[in-house]
Chains A and B, each alone.
Chain A
Amino acid sequence: MITLEAVYLLMGAMLSGVTVVSARDTSNPRRWRSTLFWALWALLFLAGSHLPHALSGVIMLVMVATASAGLGQGTRESSTAAARAESVLRLRHRLFAPVLVVPVATYAGSVLLKGLMVNGAPLIPAAQVTQVALGLATVLGLLTALLVIRPTASAPVVEARRLLDSVGWAAVLPQALAALGAVFAAAGVGQAVSTLATTYLPLGSPLAAVTAYGVGMALFTMVMGNAFAAFPVMTAGIGLPLVVQQYGGDVVIVTAIGMLSGFCGTLMTPMAANYNIVPAALLELEDRHAVIKAQIPTALILLVANIALMALFAFRVPVPLMPGR
């Protein structure tokens, strides 16, 4: 049986390689901080499933402290423009192959591996198929790259280190945010927000209720960084009791578009780090919030559109969007 654990070991191996390259890079002015940071992350992938949770928590705190002190970045170029130009002439369109193998193999893998049985047991646990498929696809992509490009043996790890250093601690942020979500859930943050919303929002008409639900979904998603966390809270607090039950809104239309209103919030929040902050780091943008700024106009227009769609279609008699005088 192949489980997520195998993919974690792979990730641990890659990060261990990154750690070694970091430790040997004298061009990084803060190389020991970077080395410590990647080494601890590698440790959590290799041994995290067996460590006491309290120890993992302490390791995470040390990682955060190291990142707050500031990580460095090596300045040595791993390839020259001339070498790249020469390699482009040699490889041409074959260069696209390794990069395209990863998404295509991830998709093929998640379809083909689902339900595959070996000796009466699933080869991969159903809930982990997509992640395991992604892990296998990256291995396939790496093999393709090795065959097509024929780099030196150390190049894959050196290149992974170059990219990971340019992303920096933001690489860990999505994982930390998911952990924060678990802490929020355990502390009852959702209930507190729901109580606040229903106590203080004006909900006296169908349009007001629909607006409160749509805006509430967007705002709470911005806070939690995830529409999935906001949906049960806001729908139990406003969507079902008010929009559906009190004003007779269609439950399918209200909940479907309510979720999409939450996605508008996802476009506007740094808490959705893997969509908004990580790409800014990955694309080496000076402003970490540049992606969010690019998305805000679209998100706001779509939020208004969602509320209008709910008001127009969820009720047997459309709700007037402009209150009459």
Chain B
Amino acid sequence: MLPLIGILIVVAGFALRLNALLVVTLAGLATGLASGQSFIEVITLFGKAFVESRYIAIVWLALPVIGLAERAGLREHAAAAIGQIRAATAGRVMLVYLALRQATSALGLVSLGGHAQMVRPLVAPMAEAAAEQQHSSAPLSTSARDRIRAMAASADNVGLFFGEDVFVAIGSILLIRGFLEQNGIIVEPLDLARWAIPTALVAFAVHGARLLWFDRALRDTSRADASGDTTERDA
């Protein structure tokens, strides 16, 4: 059970809100040492794994593009474009994005989205602008703005996770198939993908409904703000 010390460190570290990078590193060092490796061996293993995981970070290569577009006013323009649509609300904007994200992911187009690529430059500013327009163009409070942004990020995640599994050639389906094959069970990827559909529908219904309810919550918050009652906002 000694290897589980790393898990304890992770849970405690996140609960205490320590620097996550530090927590993860300490958990790795402790786990390695607890499993009987020397300090040098643990550092070597960690270094090797860190270097081999560099591929995860290459999404940051999009930053110069996003930054240039922002400097040229992309966020302001995206907000103005949404401002011309009277029916737009924050919840509806994010609902449309959820639908697009989930549908394209189900077709295997998982790269047509993402937090750096779509949410920060387009979806979040659009949702914020729709909310401002709806609440008589008053600037949003910081907490309302943060809640909109967090919901926009959640729409991307939910759409991706519960869309991609409907596509037969996605990593998770291939992993299930490969794992079962090792255990002597042959299954068709298409059958696995088909059984991702019920959950996908529930996910869209649940998160879509929450996005629409979110509009109401925002409206109540802004009323509370207007009447000088800030207890709701800090809750």
A residues near B, CB below 8 A? Answer: 4, 7-8, 10-11, 14, 44-45, 48-49, 51-61, 63-64, 67-68, 78-79, 81, 84-85, 87-88, 91-93, 95-96, 98-99, 101-104, 106-107, 110, 128, 130-131, 133-135, 138, 141-142, 144-146, 148-149, 151, 155-160, 162-164, 169-184, 186-189, 192-193, 196, 223, 227-228, 231-232, 235-236, 240, 251-253, 255-257, 259-260, 263, 266-267, 270-271, 273-280, 282-288, 290-291, 293-295, 297-298, 301-302, 305-306, 309, 313
For residue B48, CB closer than 8 A to chain A, the reply is yes
**CB pairs A–B below 8 angstroms (13 shown):** A8-B58, A48-B51, A53-B44, A60-B50, A131-B58, A172-B57, A180-B28, A182-B52, A183-B49, A255-B192, A283-B146, A290-B146, A290-B149
Query: Is B147 among interface residues, defined by CB-CB distance under 8 A?
Result: yes
Q: Does B224 contact A (CB under 8 A)?
A: no
Q: Check A187 against B51 for contact (C-beta < 8 Å).
A: no
Could you tell me if A134 and B61 are in contact, using CB atoms closer than 8 angstroms? yes
Contact B45 A186 (CB under 8 A): yes
How far does the alpha carbon of A14 sit from the alpha carbon of B153 in the complex, in Å? Answer: 26
In the complex, the chain A residue whose C-beta lies closest to that of B71 is A79
Asked whether any CB of chain A lies closer than 8 Å to the CB of B93, the reply is: no
Q: Which residues of B contact A (CB under 8 A)?
A: 1, 3-4, 6-7, 10-11, 14, 17, 19-22, 24-25, 27-28, 31-32, 34-35, 40, 42-74, 76-78, 80-81, 109, 111-122, 124, 142, 146-147, 149-154, 156-158, 161-162, 165, 171-172, 175-176, 179-180, 183, 185, 187-188, 191-193, 195-196, 198-199, 202-203, 206-207, 210
**Inter-chain contact A179/B49, CB cutoff 8 Å:** yes
Nearest 5 CB-CB pairs, A to B? A159-B67, A57-B47, A56-B47, A182-B49, A178-B53
Most B CB within 10 A of own CB, among A11, A128, A130, A181: A11
> What is the total of A-B residue contacts with beta carbons within 8 Å?
395
Contact residue among A159, A231, A270, A282 (Cβ-Cβ distance under 8 Å from B120) = A282
Which residues from B are CB-within-8-Å of A144?
Answer: 65
> Chain B residues near A134 (CB, 8 Å)?
58-59, 61, 111
Chain B residue numbers with a CB within 8 Å of A297 are 210
| Distance A96 CA – B156 CA, assembled complex (angstroms) | 19
What's the Cα separation between A297 and B62 when bound, in Å? 31
Q: Are B180 and A91 in contact (CB under 8 A)?
A: no
Q: In the complex, A177→B28 CA distance in Å?
A: 9
Specify which of B48, B72, B146, B198 is in contact with A53 (CB 8 Å cutoff).
B48
For residue B65, give the distance in angstroms from its CB to the closest CB of chain A: 4
The answer to whether A252 touches B65, judged by C-beta atoms less than 8 angstroms apart, is no
Do the beta carbons of A192 and B31 come within 8 Å of each other? no
